[in-house]
């Protein structure tokens, strides 16, 4: 027979075990899908975001990260946001344009020249903030903007000018502005998800692709398309988005906590990517890639028709607004 003290200790132990088990199961799991590899900057920023969300919500939420397109490619992940299949994703702004076509305008070529100009555009452009404010009606909202950098080319043959592009097939993602830019440069375009690109280049279906240096390094495109041509033709950051259904389930305090985590992970992402480019280019060069900076003038000249085409499709007003915002930023923050 147990004594009263033994029973008391057993009861207390049971209560403590129950409390611990309850605490262990109290965290609500939030699913975060992205297409970057585990060693990439998106994964690093996602880990920071997950840690901050747990910290700022007293471990009531656990952000579970699914990298490498495990759950979906970029367009599908955004659809899953709308359906409630995932809670967070991070993707190039143009990926969201399927649901708000005006966001294609952020992919117009040569809008900004530096990271600092790009950050100012995404954080403070009146036009762009107004467009982001429309996204909750589509089923998701922007929390912050992470960094990927400026888009450049990797090809299996040298690319020194638009003339070289005329014999090449270029992979593009489903974005009209990027496709128009590639076509004006001279490429034949092939639309495919990023998860298929490495094999497509390897098999000769396309001659190359265009993405920021961080993505080129992370997804190892330089292995099959070793000519890296730094045109920096489009600034291509990564809005971090949340399912609107998930957002509306949060208390005001939890919304504030998630926004704080999003802002801090964005600062981490921007610093990481900006300061990693030179190292990543050196690493790829050491592994056999050839890095070149072409004369940019011919590329700028080639894409001039894109702006007129954008006005035909999206209207003079929208195009003029974002061009004006970008021009004002370039004037106020000239490249050094």
pLDDT (tens place) for every residue of the chain, 336 residues total: 445 555 455 445 544 554 454 445 579 999 999 999 898 899 999 999 999 999 999 999 999 999 999 999 999 999 999 999 999 999 999 899 999 999 999 999 999 999 999 999 999 999 999 999 999 999 999 999 999 999 999 999 999 999 999 999 999 988 889 999 999 999 999 999 999 999 999 999 999 999 999 999 999 999 999 999 999 999 999 999 999 999 999 999 999 999 999 999 999 999 999 999 999 999 999 999 999 999 999 999 999 999 999 999 999 999 999 999 999 999 999 998
Q: At what angle do helices 304-314 and 316-332 cross, to 10 degrees?
A: 130
Q: At what angle do helices 176-185 and 304-314 cross, to 10 degrees?
A: 150
Count, in order, helices (H) and strands (E) of the chain: 15, 11
Over residues 289-308, the pLDDT tens digits come to: 999 999 999 999 999 999 99
Q: What's the confidence (pLDDT) of residue 2?
A: 46
Q: What's the confidence (pLDDT) of residue 3?
A: 53
The residues near 108 (Cβ < 8 Å, ≥ 6 apart) are 177, 181, 234, 306, 307, 310, 319, 322, 323
* Alpha carbon distance, N-terminus to C-terminus of the chain: 83
Two tokens at 121? Answer: 């555009």
Phi, psi of 292 (to 5 degrees): -140, 155
Two tokens at 208? Answer: 């190359």
DSSP 261-302: HHHHHHHHHHHHHHTTHHHHHHHHHHTT-EEE---SHHHHHH
d(CA 172, CA 155): 13
Angle at alpha carbon of residue 299, lines to 239 and 171, rounded to 5°: 55
Give the burial class of 188: count Cβ atoms within 10 A of its Cβ; 0-12 exposed, 13-18 middle, 19 or more buried.
middle
Rounded to two decimals, the pTM is 0.87
């Amino acid at each position: 027979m147990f004594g009263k003290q033994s029973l008391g200790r057993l009861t207390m132990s049971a209560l403590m075990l129950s409390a611990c088990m309850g605490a262990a199961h109290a965290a609500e799991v939030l699913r975060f899908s992205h297409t970057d590899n585990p060693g990439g900057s998106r994964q690093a920023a996602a880990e920071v975001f997950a840690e901050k969300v747990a910290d700022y919500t007293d471990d009531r939420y656990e952000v579970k990260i699914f990298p490498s397109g495990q759950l979906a490619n970029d367009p599908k992940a955004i659809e899953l946001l709308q359906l409630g299949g995932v809670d967070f994703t991070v993707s190039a702004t143009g990926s969201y344009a399927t649901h708000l076509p005006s966001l294609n305008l952020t992919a117009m070529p040569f809008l900004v020249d530096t990271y600092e100009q790009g950050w100012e555009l995404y954080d403070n452009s009146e036009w762009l903030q107004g467009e982001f404010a429309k996204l909750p009606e589509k089923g998701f909202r922007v929390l912050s903007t992470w960094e990927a950098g400026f888009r450049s080319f990797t090809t299996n043959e040298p690319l020194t000018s638009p003339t070289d592009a005329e014999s090449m097939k270029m992979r593009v993602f489903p974005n009209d502005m990027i496709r128009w830019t590639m076509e004006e440069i001279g490429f034949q375009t092939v639309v495919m998800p990023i998860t298929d690109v490495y094999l497509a280049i390897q098999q000769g279906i396309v001659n190359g692709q265009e993405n920021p240096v961080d993505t080129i390094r992370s997804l190892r495109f330089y292995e099959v398309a070793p000519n890296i041509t730094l045109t920096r033709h489009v600034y291509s950051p990564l809005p971090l988005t949340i399912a609107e259904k998930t957002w509306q389930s949060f208390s005001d305090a939890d919304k504030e906590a998630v926004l704080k985590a999003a802002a801090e992970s964005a600062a981490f992402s921007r610093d990481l990517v900006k300061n990693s480019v030179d190292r990543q280019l050196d690493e790829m060069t050491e592994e056999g890639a050839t890095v070149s900076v072409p004369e940019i003038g011919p590329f700028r000249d080639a894409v001039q028709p894109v702006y007129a085409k954008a006005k035909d499709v999206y209207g003079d007003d929208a195009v003029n607004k974002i061009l004006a915002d970008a021009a004002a930023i370039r004037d106020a923050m000239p490249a050094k």
